[in-house]
Structure 1
Amino acid sequence: MPSPTMVEPSTSTDAELGVLTPIRTSADVTDPALTDLLALVTRAARAELGVARCAVYLLRPGATLQRVMWAAAPGLEPSGDDVRSLDRAPLARESIRTGRLARAREVPGELTLVRPGRIRPAVAVPLLVDGEVLGILEMEDGQCGARDEHAVTGFAALAEAALAQAAQATRTARRERGLAGAEQVRHLLGALTGAVLDGAEIDDIVTLLGDLLGRPVALLGPDLRVRTWTAPQGLRLDSAPSLPPAALGVPAVRAALDRLGPARPSVLLTPRPASGLSRRHLVAVLVAEGQVAGYLDVIEMGRPLDLADTPVAEQAAAVLSLQVLGETRTARAAAQTRDDVLADLLRGSRAADDVRRVAQHVGLDLHSPHLLVRMPVAAGRSPACCRDRVAAAVARVLDAPPPAYAEPDAVVLLVRLPDDPGPPVLRAVHRGLRDALATVAAHTGVRRAVVSGVCRDVPDFPTALAETREIDGIVTALGGRADVVPVTELSTLRLVVNGDRADVAVRFAEQCIGPLRRSDQTTGGDLVETLRSYLASGAQVRATAKALGVHENTVRYRLGRIEHVTGMDMRRFDALLAAQLAFQVEGLTAAEDTR
């Protein structure tokens, strides 16, 4: 006969989630000795009293009775469900309520529940063990006088003695199982502690835990994504039987997981086939520094979960919490050391040989050339808070996460270059940074990147940082350019312009290019673009004509017009330099797209 070892609790919330609890009945009705004794009692009682049927019922959770043994006259064997509700059994309910023999004729409503032609309960006697009602002995379809009732109570006493013996055996077995479970916990903790002391990584500990439990085990991150998992080879699983997204969307499941913490270390999630949750999951929470650091998921496969699994999972989660805490603190210390080395490198505050030596320990290869990329951060935003997100955005376009350093008003990235980088390599880096500017600006509030020249040795980095800071100040003073700004293309401009003299630079550019722009607006000419192309082509007429797609004489004519409008001699180097600086200032005064 079925004898569950655990049931769901009666409250609606916990009934949905599941809790490992023992059944109410303390006797194991699968015990052969008990079933033999109850069979003798029921057969003897039926024969002695001449009733149609004699049965023993045991109380079950949910106010139900389970028929565990019966004896009946030929042709009157019971059929149908062996479990019935006390609401449909007034005689049994009255016997349990009063704790004494109850007669059908004295219980209102009992006889009205029996359909015509069916056998009827006559008397019911409660079966008490240690003062607790465990069930009833019921006689059906018979006439019991006072003498017969005395015999009924005698047979009930025999049934009680059988139940008492079985209950004692059950308690002994449970105590032994409890001791075995405690021993299992001690063994598991000993094995896990030994693995930790031997320097095992988290993946190794999860594998060991799966081997000890003989079930699939998954370690989940705080976002409930699988970090690592293991399963017995006999199950032949190709992927972790983790919690399906649909199940995580069920309010009761999500609420149960959200309640996990130091005060509630674990929960049992019951199957929800409609949401893809086909098995029970025992989930224990990992807590580090007062915050949820992950979850340990023990999946019911191979054998059912039982009461001993809960403390095992909770203790294993505690061990893993210590490992996660150690990882977190180690990573935090490594990040701080890396920041310190970057600060020394960029500020030039330590000897070059010392910086080279310590850089190797934090993963910085200073033997390769680098570019410094300054990403300015808008006022009111924290460079330290957005540093990692900026580095991640740039990593997606440059295929490598660059080391990042937070200044008070900017994030500085170190972009590693291949040995002996040429112009194509630098242009590729500039294109990648330009592609990332929109994503970066979402975090920094400024759509600009100032790129240094190539840094080939430790002393180059402080100089490059100062140059990017200076150029960023000039660009900001001129109105802010939303683009990638290479320092090397503005070297001459730095000699004549600084942030304090930005207004002078703007007037200078207007004096050089303003007349040409007004002339183009009036005549529809292309003097500004011709001069720009002429400078970009190295002041070569043929190259300019090819770039513009016009005849060389057309270029010569336009240069003459430029000289006439501006008064500059296009054959003089100082005039060409002045025009180049004017174009650079004009380009930097473009209003910034993202703030």
Structure 2
Amino acid sequence: MASPTTPPTTPPTTLPAQDVAAELALVLRAVRAELGPVRCAVHVRGPDGGLARVATAGEACRERTSHSFTSAAVPLLVEGEVAGVLEIERPGRASPGDLPDDDAVAAAPYAALAETVLAREREAALAARQRRELAEVGRARTLQRRLAAAVAAGAEGDALVALLAELLGTGVAWLDAALHPVARSGADVAFLPGTAPVRTALGELGPGRVSLVLPPAPDAGLMRRHLVAALVGEGEVSGYLDVVETGRRLCGADAQLAEWTAAVLALQSLSESCRAEAVVQARDDVLGELVRGSRAPEDLDRMAAHVGIAVDRPHVLVRLPVAAGREARDHRAAVAAAVGELVGDPHGPVLAIAEPDAVVVLVGLAGGAAPEVRLRSLLSGALDRVGLLTGCPRAVVSGVCRRIGDYPAAHAETRDAEAILAGFGGRAGVVDAADFRTLRLVVNGERTSVALAFAVGLLDPLRRNDAETGGDLTETLRVYLDSGAQVRATAKVLGVHENTIRYRLGRIEHVGGLDLRHFDALLAAQLALQIDGLARGGGG
């Protein structure tokens, strides 16, 4: 399976053309005129190294015994190599004075004439081959210029494969490293099969050898010749360009063209991969800035928009803790891919950052009723797979983030909730961080800043809504709690209809992420209002 680009070490020997055979026949008639009734023949060395008779003169001896004829052979030399043999047979019993050497000596001048004819034929054949090679080189350059122009115009992948198939007039396929088709074009032929002999042969390809020719081998699934050029990037083979021989025989110029196209495809694939990795890294970096809140909101908004993160649409943060002895950064990409495949994100790709003890994933919420419930259900189905990567089949889900300022608080609540879970021995499954709001305050009660952050995180969404709509959600919540969570008593204090209170409570649940049917949520709201009152100088 030698590379088609490797030239032979010596010019190939071919049988002479018809006019050359006629010239050799004239030489043989001159030999007979000199030597009398002899039989002469010229044998020329063929491509396989054997001798083939191309010209004769005289009758062959009918009785070929040692007593019925004598024979002499004169080698015909061209450039110091034996290009053929001049054979002379003389019929009749040999006499002591009638020796073959005499015929050889007499035929020597005529052998020189035959050598001249063969030398001229070899020169003509060599010149013809050189003309063909030059024509191939010119054709290859012309085709390469067309391919280069297509690349300069932005052609990639499928377009380049289709153009190469058109230029070579045969079937071309771009295969990945596993021999699965990426793109194909041209004749409807079978491309490289994944048989063991084929894979063994392709194992020879790499940076040091980028192409080879696979001959027909029915046992290996190859019914035609295949010219295969490897796509090599960063020292690794990432795929193959398979050119199937149909009709015209493939040559060295075709191999050079296939190698050049394979190199372009490899560079384009590598560039595309680098661009994709850069985009993912940029998005992950912006996510890190969002959850830290380390930049001005307007800067974060601009950065998020630049990398395609729709921060104005509802998202949650999912904290996936990593077991001791494992590195979160080693599993970040795989965890993000697993969550994205099983959960998905209606607002774009699932993004993730690695922290010392966890992978934090940003997941968008779809529309419809109870999207948080649906997300938690999907996450439950993903935990077995994610747990194999993290060593900890647990996920802590934050409250809904709808603004730039929501992300740091959501990040903090998932981190604190996970710390509480770990401190109490941990448990598997999907956990809602909101369920730990009150417990977070109790566990961290000695830290005033944590208490203030808790109150702000719970009440700020309501205050923002009041400021934007002129509503009264914050005051309604305060009166509702002071009235023992009774709708009628609250309506009486505020002087509105009971249905108005029920509507406002629904808005409080939606905007603030509070489920007021649960005692834990009522207690969290009461504590938040008390802390807020203390912070403002009131009595709670």
Q: Under a length normalisation based on structure 1, what TM-score does the superposition of the two structures give?
A: 0.65
Q: Quick one: which amino acid aligns to residue 369 of structure 2?
A: G
Describe the shift of the 1:75–1:31 C-alpha distance in structure 2 as closer, same or farther (beyond 3 A): closer
2:104 to 146, 149, 154: 149
2:194 to 236, 241, 245: 245
In the alignment, the residues of structure 2 paired with residue 355 and residue 397 of structure 1 have an alpha-carbon distance, to the nearest angstrom, of: 29
Match for residue 117 of structure 2? 162
Match for residue 416 of structure 1? 364
Equivalent runs, 1:483-502 vs 2, <5 Å = 483-497=429-443
Describe the shift of the 1:24–1:72 C-alpha distance in structure 2 as closer, same or farther (beyond 3 A): farther
Q: Secondary structure of 1:411's match? A: strand
In the alignment, the residues of structure 2 paired with residue 145 and residue 75 of structure 1 have an alpha-carbon distance, to the nearest angstrom, of: 17
**1:70-110 superposed Cα distances (whole Å, 9 cap, x missing partner):** 54878999xxxxxxxxxxxxxxxxxxxxxxxxxxxxxxxxx
Match for residue 260 of structure 1? 205
Match for residue 15 of structure 2? 29
Match for residue 189 of structure 1? 144
In the alignment, the residues of structure 2 paired with residue 496 and residue 115 of structure 1 have an alpha-carbon distance, to the nearest angstrom, of: 120
Residue 58 of structure 1, CA deviation: 0.9
Q: Quick one: which amino acid aligns to residue 54 of structure 2?
A: M
Matched, 1:135 2:90: no
In the alignment, the residues of structure 2 paired with residue 177 and residue 447 of structure 1 have an alpha-carbon distance, to the nearest angstrom, of: 69
1:56 to 16, 33, 43: 43
Residue 245 of structure 1, CA deviation: 0.9
Q: Secondary structure of 1:184's match? A: helix
In the alignment, the residues of structure 2 paired with residue 180 and residue 448 of structure 1 have an alpha-carbon distance, to the nearest angstrom, of: 68
Q: Secondary structure of 1:366's match? A: coil
In the alignment, the residues of structure 2 paired with residue 382 and residue 142 of structure 1 have an alpha-carbon distance, to the nearest angstrom, of: 96
Describe the shift of the 1:125–1:446 C-alpha distance in structure 2 as closer, same or farther (beyond 3 A): farther
Tell me if structure 2 keeps the 8 A contact 1:18–1:270.
no
Q: Quick one: which amino acid aligns to residue 214 of structure 1?
A: G
Residue 489 of structure 1, CA deviation: 3.3
Tell me if structure 2 keeps the 8 A contact 1:473–1:499.
no
Tell me if structure 2 keeps the 8 A contact 1:369–1:455.
yes
2:168 to 207, 213, 218: 213
Matched, 1:274 2:210: no
Residue 23 of structure 1, CA deviation: 8.4
Residue 140 of structure 1, CA deviation: 6.2
Match for residue 375 of structure 1? 320
Q: Secondary structure of 2:309's match? A: coil
Residue 172 of structure 1, CA deviation: 1.2
Matched, 1:177 2:124: no
Tell me if structure 1 keeps the 8 A contact 2:40–2:58.
yes
Residue 43 of structure 1, CA deviation: 7.0
1:67 to 38, 52, 59: 52
Q: Runs of 5+ in structure 1 lacking a partner?
A: 1-13, 78-113, 502-572, 578-595
In the alignment, the residues of structure 1 paired with residue 350 and residue 391 of structure 2 have an alpha-carbon distance, to the nearest angstrom, of: 20
Residue 168 of structure 1, CA deviation: 0.9
In the alignment, the residues of structure 1 paired with residue 70 and residue 177 of structure 2 have an alpha-carbon distance, to the nearest angstrom, of: 59
Tell me if structure 1 keeps the 8 A contact 2:343–2:382.
no
2:271 to 294, 302, 326: 326
In the alignment, the residues of structure 2 paired with residue 33 and residue 352 of structure 1 have an alpha-carbon distance, to the nearest angstrom, of: 91
**1:204-254 superposed Cα distances (whole Å, 9 cap, x missing partner):** 2332222222222223334443322322xxx3x2xx7432111xx22xx44
Q: Quick one: which amino acid aligns to residue 379 of structure 2?
A: L
Tell me if structure 1 keeps the 8 A contact 2:344–2:363.
no
In the alignment, the residues of structure 2 paired with residue 473 and residue 42 of structure 1 have an alpha-carbon distance, to the nearest angstrom, of: 105
User: Bigger CA drift: 471-480 or 281-290?
Assistant: 281-290
Q: Secondary structure of 2:374's match? A: helix
1:429 to 358, 375, 400: 375
Equivalent runs, 1:433-512 vs 2, <5 Å = 433-497=379-443
Tell me if structure 2 keeps the 8 A contact 1:280–1:299.
yes
Q: Secondary structure of 2:222's match? A: coil
Describe the shift of the 1:197–1:372 C-alpha distance in structure 2 as closer, same or farther (beyond 3 A): same
Q: Quick one: which amino acid aligns to residue 20 of structure 2?
A: L
Describe the shift of the 1:355–1:56 C-alpha distance in structure 2 as closer, same or farther (beyond 3 A): same
Match for residue 492 of structure 2? none
Residue 311 of structure 1, CA deviation: 2.4
Tell me if structure 2 keeps the 8 A contact 1:39–1:71.
yes
Match for residue 540 of structure 1? none
1:306 to 251, 269, 289: 251
Q: Secondary structure of 1:54's match? A: strand
Residue 274 of structure 1, CA deviation: 0.8
Match for residue 511 of structure 1? none
Residue 478 of structure 1, CA deviation: 1.6
In the alignment, the residues of structure 2 paired with residue 40 and residue 191 of structure 1 have an alpha-carbon distance, to the nearest angstrom, of: 51
**1:130-173 superposed Cα distances (whole Å, 9 cap, x missing partner):** 11222334456856734432354444333322221121112212
1:363 to 293, 305, 308: 308
Q: Quick one: which amino acid aligns to residue 351 of structure 1?
A: A
In the alignment, the residues of structure 1 paired with residue 36 and residue 444 of structure 2 have an alpha-carbon distance, to the nearest angstrom, of: 116
Q: Quick one: which amino acid aligns to residue 384 of structure 2?
A: A
Q: Runs of 5+ in structure 2 lacking a partner?
A: 93-98, 448-518, 524-540
Describe the shift of the 1:230–1:468 C-alpha distance in structure 2 as closer, same or farther (beyond 3 A): same
**1:303-325 superposed Cα distances (whole Å, 9 cap, x missing partner):** 11112223222333333343334
Residue 266 of structure 1, CA deviation: 1.9
Residue 276 of structure 1, CA deviation: 0.8
In the alignment, the residues of structure 2 paired with residue 120 and residue 479 of structure 1 have an alpha-carbon distance, to the nearest angstrom, of: 110
In the alignment, the residues of structure 1 paired with residue 213 and residue 296 of structure 2 have an alpha-carbon distance, to the nearest angstrom, of: 59
Q: Quick one: which amino acid aligns to residue 19 of structure 2?
A: A
Tell me if structure 2 keeps the 8 A contact 1:24–1:60.
no
Tell me if structure 2 keeps the 8 A contact 1:20–1:306.
no
Q: Secondary structure of 1:380's match? A: coil
In the alignment, the residues of structure 2 paired with residue 393 and residue 427 of structure 1 have an alpha-carbon distance, to the nearest angstrom, of: 19
User: Bigger CA drift: 431-440 or 130-139?
Assistant: 130-139
Describe the shift of the 1:356–1:131 C-alpha distance in structure 2 as closer, same or farther (beyond 3 A): same
Tell me if structure 2 keeps the 8 A contact 1:126–1:137.
yes
In the alignment, the residues of structure 1 paired with residue 107 and residue 203 of structure 2 have an alpha-carbon distance, to the nearest angstrom, of: 55
In the alignment, the residues of structure 2 paired with residue 490 and residue 369 of structure 1 have an alpha-carbon distance, to the nearest angstrom, of: 21
Q: Secondary structure of 2:397's match? A: strand
Tell me if structure 1 keeps the 8 A contact 2:40–2:86.
no
Equivalent runs, 1:518-537 vs 2, <5 Å = none
Q: Secondary structure of 1:455's match? A: coil
Equivalent runs, 1:329-344 vs 2, <5 Å = 329-344=274-289
In the alignment, the residues of structure 1 paired with residue 206 and residue 336 of structure 2 have an alpha-carbon distance, to the nearest angstrom, of: 33
Q: Secondary structure of 2:182's match? A: strand
In the alignment, the residues of structure 1 paired with residue 310 and residue 204 of structure 2 have an alpha-carbon distance, to the nearest angstrom, of: 46
In the alignment, the residues of structure 2 paired with residue 192 and residue 303 of structure 1 have an alpha-carbon distance, to the nearest angstrom, of: 20
Instruction: Among all aligned residue pairs of Structure 1 and Structure 2, give the percentage whose two residues are the same amino acid.
Output: 45
Matched, 1:348 2:335: no
Aligned pair count reads 440
Q: Quick one: which amino acid aligns to residue 15 of structure 2?
A: V
Tell me if structure 1 keeps the 8 A contact 2:396–2:414.
yes
